[in-house]
Structure 1
Amino acid sequence: MADSTPSYDGPRVRFAAGTVQVRPAGPVPVGMLAGRLSVLSPGTERRHLAATVSGQARDAGYMSLGEGSEGWVLAPVPHGAAFAPSMAGALAVPRGTSLPVAAVGRFQLMAALGLARLPAADVPDAVVVGSGPVALGCVLALRRRGAERTQVLTARRHAPIGRAPGATCVSEVEPGSARLVIDATGRPEKAAGLVAAGGTLGILGTPDEDSTLPALAAHRGGWTIIGLHELAPAPDGAYQHAYTDAVSWLTEHLDPRLVASWCRRVPGHLAPQIFELLDRPGRPAEPVLMFEWAA
């Protein structure tokens, strides 16, 4: 008989009727870790929040950190939820890893698994569309694969992603000029116009169900289009291995103060205010936002 024990309990943030609701903490079930920090995925969560205006309510978030006897564990559960450390998809954070590196490394993991599908020698100077946490993880993963220069297409002036090694923020890119374009916004139809003949379009940000791509332009241009979703089929153990490699590389190659500058920790009870700011000019500058949950 299959085990019916839930893998997590007590999510702290709920989307309902277009509003963000914070729930009180409950007791942590025996055998589970308390969710102490959770990481915001702005694009996906804004889309989920908007869907509740006319659709069903849902728990928010998908990335929480808890600390156990063996160290920190990062699990794919809603904001602030307690979780079983052995649940599917849980990642052991290597000992000695700072929490900013643990969070940034999670976004680098997303890109690393997808970029592994590119030909081994094909790491041209790339264009990454977007400047949020997914884009940051992508720029870092490209650098690790040998990219010397990555253009980051963003409307945000002085975006913190511009401090990543090799990254240059630009407000425009010549159409049809880039050999490798990676969309990290969930709107690949806009990124597609930048792809050169014979080039590659990588879809890293999750698009809407009704998103479309210019099939005729792809056909005539001989493009390669690659889905870069982190949960696409991969060998056993690849997820943990890629995560360990990502945080190890960040720890060894980047100044910890730089990694920390990309992160902001916010008390979890302020989640409604943070979500309200995401679509406004005054939103937090840091690409990686973490909610802190008190017991």
Structure 2
Amino acid sequence: MTPSANTGTGTGHHRYVGARVRLVAGRARLQPPVPTPASMVAGRFSVLSPGTERRHLAGGASRDAGYMTLGRGSDAEGWTLAPVPHGAAFDPTLPGAVTAPPGVPATVAAVARFQQLAVIGLARVPPYTTLHGTVIVGSGPVALGCALELLRRGAIGMRVITTRRHPAIASVPGVRCAPWLHGTHPGDSGLVIDAAGTPERAAALLGPGGTLGLLGTPPRTAAVTALGAHRGGWTVIGMHELAPAPPGYYQDAYTTAATWLAERFTPGQLSAWCRIVPGAEAPEIYRLLGSPGRPAEPVILFDWEAR
């Protein structure tokens, strides 16, 4: 998602500088801070995307790590979230950056970034599809954003299928969690959203004429059989956030999510889904990815000014 060098380049000029975490031989290593150029915004917080980072760690290649970094020019401005590595200073005008409304806390801005994916993805669902009783596969940050967006759209009776014993997503109003047990879930759901990159598992939950939404990024080896879709009369929808959309829609979707979250939930409620961790602890958090010791909150924010 981001260039692999410590100084990224865009259209002939630097777009970010000073990535704070680099993956080397399957491990995360802290990098020293560098001065922020006058034309850039300092990276204050950064968002951990567990699934993306696990794939990068498994790949073993050396690269700057990170999904999204937050910065702003002054306290009066809204947070800008840019697709650059952890803690890097960045050009706020770079493509893919979004800006939260002024006054929105960093935790809300981070959670809204994942809800934005569902704002965009659910807009592709056929209008005749009921959102009530939607099944979400997964309980990480993408699944959390999906559940929140379904709640915003008035859905009730959401069911989350997860391997976690005590998922934080269970505290989203209207969500009921169930463990994944192979072969025990009936294939009778009208709308199933795969938020874990496991489309085969999600497809097994679909009923005849159902809709399968691919919101999580699947591995290259994942597949949903054409025969199964043909016989089941399924609609299969790609929900990638960067799929073609009208100009301005990307920012509009983010503003919708951030505004609603700020109005709907208190900071205390958000703390169940988003934890702020000092940036110096990033290597340890990376080491715990995929293990039972990983923080329970789906969204992790690294704070690069924490002492």
Quick one: which of 294, 298, 301 aligns to 1:283? 294
Quick one: which of 278, 283, 299 aligns to 1:272? 283
Does residue 49 (structure 1) correspond to residue 49 (structure 2)? The answer is: no
Which residue in 2 is equivalent to 1:257? 268
230-239 vs 272-281, which deviates more? 272-281
> 1:119: how far off?
2.2
Which residue in 1 is equivalent to 2:177? 169
Which residue in 2 is equivalent to 1:144? 152
SS at match of 1:196: strand
Q: Percent identity?
A: 57
CA distance in 1, matches of 2:154, 2:288: 36
> 1:104: how far off?
0.6
> 1:277: how far off?
1.2
In 1, are the aligned partners of 2:27 and 2:286 still within 8 Å (CA)?
no
SS at match of 2:119: helix
Does residue 219 (structure 1) correspond to residue 230 (structure 2)? The answer is: yes
> 1:3: how far off?
4.4
CA distance in 2, matches of 1:62, 1:277: 18
In 2, are the aligned partners of 1:263 and 1:287 still within 8 Å (CA)?
yes
Which residue in 2 is equivalent to 1:133? 141
Does residue 153 (structure 1) correspond to residue 161 (structure 2)? The answer is: yes
SS at match of 1:185: coil
Quick one: which of 87, 99, 122 aligns to 1:115? 122
Does residue 82 (structure 1) correspond to residue 93 (structure 2)? The answer is: no
TM-score normalised by L of structure 2: 0.91
Which residue in 2 is equivalent to 1:233? 244
2:224 partner amino acid: L
Which residue in 1 is equivalent to 2:4? none
What is the RMSD computed on CA atoms of the aligned residues? 1.5
* 1:3–1:211 Cα change, 3 Å: closer
> 1:121: how far off?
4.5
TM-score normalised by L of structure 1: 0.95
In 2, are the aligned partners of 1:35 and 1:80 still within 8 Å (CA)?
yes
Does residue 66 (structure 1) correspond to residue 66 (structure 2)? The answer is: no
> 1:256: how far off?
3.0
CA distance in 1, matches of 2:266, 2:88: 31
> 1:187: how far off?
1.4
Quick one: which of 252, 258, 282 aligns to 1:247? 258
In 2, are the aligned partners of 1:154 and 1:169 still within 8 Å (CA)?
yes
Q: String of CA shifts for 1:167-214, please: whole Å, max 9, x gaps.
A: 111114623111111111111111111111100111111011111112
SS at match of 1:8: strand
In 1, are the aligned partners of 2:78 and 2:103 still within 8 Å (CA)?
no
